Amino acid sequence: MIINKLHSLLWWVICIATSSILLVVFVNISGVNAYEKARLADMLEGKAYRPFVYRVLVPGIANGVTSVLPDSFEKSLENHLNNSPAYSRSLSRFRASPELAVESLIILLMMGGSIVGFCASFRALLLSLYSAPSLVVDITCLFAMMGLLPFIFIGYIYDFSVLFLFTLALVLLHKQHWWAYLVVFTLAVLTKETAIFLVIPFILYFWFPKQRIQPSLAVKLLAAQGLIYLFLQLAIRSHYSGNPGVPLEFHLYDHLWFWINRPALSIISTITSIIVIYLIFIHPLRKPPFLVSACMMLIPLLIMFIFFGYPIEIRVFYEVYSVATLIIIQQLLDKTRFRLVPLPESPPQ
C-alpha cells in the first residue's frame, strides 16, 4: 500500500515537473501572442481577428476570474508580479504588457494545468484500453508528454486546452460517462471549432458498424452534441461577425510555396507524415476499435490542414495526438516484451 502511494506520488511529481518544463519551453520558443491577429490583449478584449477570436474559453475564464477579484487585491497582485524580475522576464517572453500581469498568470496556470490534465487523461485512456506493467504505463505517459516538443514551436494560448479537453472527452466517451462527456464537449466547442470532430468516434464506435448502445440513446446523444455545437458556434460567430479576418484562413498557397522554396523540409515532413499514418492504420484489427475510430478524426484534420493550416503548424493535430500516440506506441512495442495488450471489448448494452 505504501509503495503504491509512493509510486503514485512520484508519478505526479514527474508529471507536474515535465509539464512545467514544457510550459517554459513553450513560452520561450513558440512565439505565443506574437501574431498580430491573435495578440493577448485583443483576445482578452474580443478584438482579435477571426477565427482566433472564436476560441473563447481561455480568455473568457481569465476575464471571469479577474472580474470577481476585489480591485484592491488585483492591483496588489499586479504590483507584486510586476516587481518580480523573474515574472517580468516571463511576461516579456509571453508578450504581455504589465497591465495584463494578473490575466497572464491565470492563463499560464491554465496552460500548465492543461498539460498536467492531458497527462492524467492520457494515462486514464491508456489504462481503459490496454493492459501493461505499471513501469511501461509510466514510460508511455512520459514519452507522450515529451512527444509534444515538436508541436510547440508555434503556439497559441488555447493549444494545451484543446489537447487536454479532447483527450479527456475521449476518455469519458469510451467509458460512457455521458453527462460528463457533454460538459467537456461543450468546453471543447468553446475552445476550438474542431470539437465537432468528436462525433466521428462517437458514430463509428457506438453506432456503426456495431451497435454498442441503444439506438434511442445514440440519437439523443448525437442530437445533443449537434445542438450544443450549433448553438454555441452560431452565438460566437454572430457576436464576433464584425471582427476583421475570415472564418478560415486559406493556406494552400503557403504549402505550395514551401514545396518550391523549402523542398528538403517539405520532403522530410511528407515522409514523416506517411510513416506516422502508416503506423496508425496498419493492422487495425490488432488495435482497440475505439482508438481506430478516434483516429478517423485525422482525415478531416488532414484535409483542413492542407487548405487552411500553415505548413509547419503540426499543433493543429492536437485533437488526435493522444489516440495517435497510443496506437503508434502499441505498434512500436508490439514485438517486444513491453507490449501494450488491448483489453477485451465491453459487451454491447
**Cell digits for 258?**
514551401
C-beta neighbour count of 240 within 10 angstroms:
21
Q: Cβ(170)–Cβ(201) under 8 Å?
A: yes
Tell me the β-bridge partners of 341: 131
- According to the model, what pLDDT value does residue 186 have? 98
Per-residue pLDDT of the chain (349 residues; tens, 9 = 90+): 777 778 788 889 999 999 999 999 999 999 999 999 999 999 999 999 999 999 999 999 999 999 999 999 999 999 999 999 999 999 999 999 999 999 999 999 999 999 999 999 999 999 999 998 888 999 999 999 999 999 998 899 999 999 999 999 999 999 999 999 999 999 999 999 999 999 999 999 998 777 788 889 999 999 999 999 999 999 999 999 999 999 988 888 888 888 888 888 788 888 888 888 888 888 888 899 999 999 999 999 999 998 888 888 889 999 999 999 999 999 888 878 888 988 887 655 5
Q: What is the pTM of this model?
A: 0.94
Residue at grid coordinates 515537473 = 17
- According to the model, what pLDDT value does residue 261 have? 86
- According to the model, what pLDDT value does residue 252 have? 84
Q: Cβ(154)–Cβ(30) under 8 Å?
A: yes
**Cell digits for 339?**
507490449
Handedness of CA 273, 326, 200, 113 (dihedral sign): negative
Q: Cβ(26)–Cβ(32) under 8 Å?
A: yes
State CA 43 to chain mean position distance: 19
C-beta neighbour count of 297 within 10 angstroms:
24
Q: Which residues contact 245 (CB under 8 A, 6 or more apart)?
A: 37, 49, 50, 51, 52, 53
- According to the model, what pLDDT value does residue 248 have? 86
Q: What does the alpha-carbon distance between residue 220 and residue 275 come to, in Å, rounded to a whole number?
A: 38
Classify 70 as helix, strand or coil.
coil
DSSP structural state of residue 176 = T
Peptide bond into 51 cis (omega under 30): yes
Q: What are phi and psi of 247, to 5 degrees?
A: -60, -35
- According to the model, what pLDDT value does residue 264 have? 84
- According to the model, what pLDDT value does residue 211 have? 78
Q: Cβ(201)–Cβ(173) under 8 Å?
A: yes
User: CA torsion, points 202, 205, 206, 209, in degrees to nearest 10?
Assistant: 130
- According to the model, what pLDDT value does residue 7 have? 77
